[in-house]
Amino acid sequence: MKFEKDLLGIQNLDADQIHYILKKAEDMKKIIFSDCKKATNLTGKSVMTLFFENSTRTRTSFELAAKYLGAIASNMPVSSSSVKKGETLIDTTRTLNAMGNDCFIIRHENAGAPHLVAQNVDATVINAGDGMNEHPTQALLDFFTMYEKMGTVEGKKIAIIGDIYHSRVARSDTYGLLKLGAEVVMAGPRTLLPNDLESLGVKMYTDVDKAIKDADVVMPLRLQLERQKNCFFPSGYEYSKYFGVNEERMKLAKEGALIMHPGPVNRGLELQSALYAPDKSVIDEQVTNGVAVRMAVLDTFINRA
């Protein structure tokens, strides 16, 4: 299977490529819980995380994934780097590339930043989240989780609830799920829904109950409280009452429907606190799968030749 130098978005992958990565992740997952977490797929390869936005799980997940595969993993701490002196993104990455780095894992607040870097370095560039655009490895771990729990996503109804407008996770998930044959519906306040995605074949609702009805997967998204200041929603109280995923609403979903969340969770806001528990949702499993999927992605792209 042929892959490009970089993983910039799910928009750039086809269904076969997605399946390839997910299959590989299945094998990688075995390493995570083995006694000796040391494979040799990336021995001697330099893998660097370059995070311009804060992150707990994505960054650590990538670092561990690289280390489990035997890579020389390092993090470039942006806040104490010459970026603070005004050094540009291209100059920063070209400089690090010149040190023999094989792979950049980049998270940036501006959509398209990883694309710019990819054009200017010969190292592999993995997009770990660029602005409101994409978060491909999050989507891949979501697909992995769905396949593992349901066996397939084809014909399944996936309901994504919340601040879709600002969500790179919602976008990446949607692009992939449509390629994989799932039915995607979205719901949230009108002010937090995008204008465009309906043209892709996604049904958009402002009534969360309608979206959750008969859904196989319910995925609330994190609500950023800062959005209240920009009049996207009036209050956490109103949001959780009319748009929150709770036990009452989940009765409308299919029996045994999965509750997923990209994390971190605002307990009691977009998701009822009691539902963020191992026996009620698969959120912790998503995290585990995240490491496996990122191991698969690093191996696939760095060793693509």
Contact residues for another protein (CB under 8 A)?
A: 189-191, 206, 228-235, 237-238, 241-242
- Residue closer to another protein by CB (options 80, 230) is 230
Residue 220 Cβ, how far from another protein at the closest point, in Å?
Answer: 18
| Complex with another protein: residue 15 or 242, whichever CB lies closer | 242
Distance CA(41)–CA(225), nearest Å, equals 41
> Residue 223: what residue type?
L
Closer to another protein by Cβ: residue 14 or 207: 207
Q: Where do we find the tokens 């409101």?
A: 132
Q: In angstroms, what is the minimal distance from the CB of 238 to another protein?
A: 4
Buried b (16+ CB within 10 A) or exposed e, 23-47: ebbeebbebeeeeeeebebbeebbb
Phi/psi of residue 245, each to 5°? -85, 115
CB of 231 to another protein, least distance (A): 4
Toward another protein, which CB reaches closer, 120 or 191?
Answer: 191
| Dist. CA 147–CA 211, nearest whole Å | 21
Task: Give me the amino acid identity at 148.
Answer: E
Of 231 and 305, CB closest to another protein: 231
Burial of 170 (0-12, 13-18, 19+ CB in 10 A): buried
The alpha-carbon radius of gyration of the chain (Å, integer) is 19
CB of 170 to another protein, least distance (A): 18
Nearer to another protein by Cβ, of 242 and 247: the residue is 242
CB nearer to another protein: give 100 or 242.
242
68, 34 contact by CB (below 8 A): no
| H-run or E-run covering 158 | strand 157-161
> Nearest approach, Cβ of 221 to another protein (angstroms)?
18
Give the max Cα distance, the chain.
56
Q: In angstroms, what is the minimal distance from the CB of 240 to another protein? A: 11
CB of 235 to another protein, least distance (A): 5
97 vs 99: CA distance, rounded Å? 5
Min dist CB 190 to another protein, Å, is 4
CA distance 153 to 144: 10
Rounded Cα–Cα distance for residues 227 and 214 (Å): 30
195: Cβ–Cβ under 8 A, 6 or more apart, which residues?
Answer: none
- Return the number of the residue (160 or 291) whose C-beta is nearest another protein: 160
